[in-house]
């Protein structure tokens, strides 16, 4: 018997934790003590998600992930704390799926910024912190 607790990251990569192997069978691990397990299949996206950027705080660049269950026109914009538009990261039609966007704030001052996504009827915003 192989029991797994799966911890998912945003991307379709998974980390296995709390692996319990038992049940009377023989289990051989490689020299590192790991067993390779793979899964190939379709991953269904059911919800819109705007993830927290990472790293956060950051200097000078960070990554923003989002997912969308339907095709649509996506805008992902960075605003300063006063609501002024600082940078448009995405402004185009995208197919359903998971996306990763890198934001380089090398030319901006330290501070709190807001990033906001709009796609179809979905809208969400989160804070990010630039520390130089």
Domain membership flag for residue 66:
yes
Residue 102 lies in a domain: yes
Tell me how many domains the chain contains. 1
Query: Does residue 18 lie within any of the structural domains?
Result: no
- pLDDT of res. 20: 47
- Decide if 4 is inside a domain: no
Q: Is residue 116 part of a domain?
A: yes
16 within a domain of the structure (yes/no)? no
Specify the pLDDT at position 54: 96
Q: Are 46 and 69 in contact (CB under 8 A)?
A: yes
Does 79 map to a domain? yes
Give the 3-state DSSP-derived string for the chain, with helices as H, strands as E and coil as C. CEEEEEEECCCCCEEEEEEEECCCCCCCCCCCCCCCCCCCCCCCCCCCEECCCECCCECCEEEEEEEECCCEEEEEEEEECCCCEEEEEEEEEECCEEEEEEEECCCCCCEEEEEEEEECCEEEEEEEEECC
Each residue's pLDDT expressed in tens, for the chain with a length of 132 residues:
445 444 444 544 455 444 444 444 444 555 565 665 555 566 688 999 999 999 999 999 999 999 999 999 999 999 999 999 999 999 999 999 999 999 999 999 999 999 999 999 999 999 999 998
Q: Does residue 32 sit within a domain?
A: no
Note the pLDDT of residue 44: 81
The domain in which residue 62 lies consists of: 49-130
pTM above 0.75, yes or no: no
CATH of the domain at 101: 2.60.40.3080
């Amino acid at each position: 018997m192989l029991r797994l607790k799966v911890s998912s990251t945003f991307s379709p990569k998974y980390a296995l934790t709390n692996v319990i192997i038992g049940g009377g069978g023989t289990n051989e691990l490689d020299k590192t003590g790991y067993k390779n397990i793979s899964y190939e299949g379709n991953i269904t996206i059911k919800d819109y998600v705007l993830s927290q950027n990472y790293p956060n705080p950051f200097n000078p660049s960070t990554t923003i992930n989002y997912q969308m269950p339907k095709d649509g026109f996506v805008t992902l914009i960075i605003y300063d704390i006063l609501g002024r538009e600082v940078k448009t990261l995405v402004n185009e039609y995208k197919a359903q799926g998971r996306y990763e966007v890198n934001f380089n704030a090398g030319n901006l001052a330290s501070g709190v910024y807001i990033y906001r996504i709009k796609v179809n009827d979905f809208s969400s915003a989160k804070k990010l912190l630039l520390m130089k």
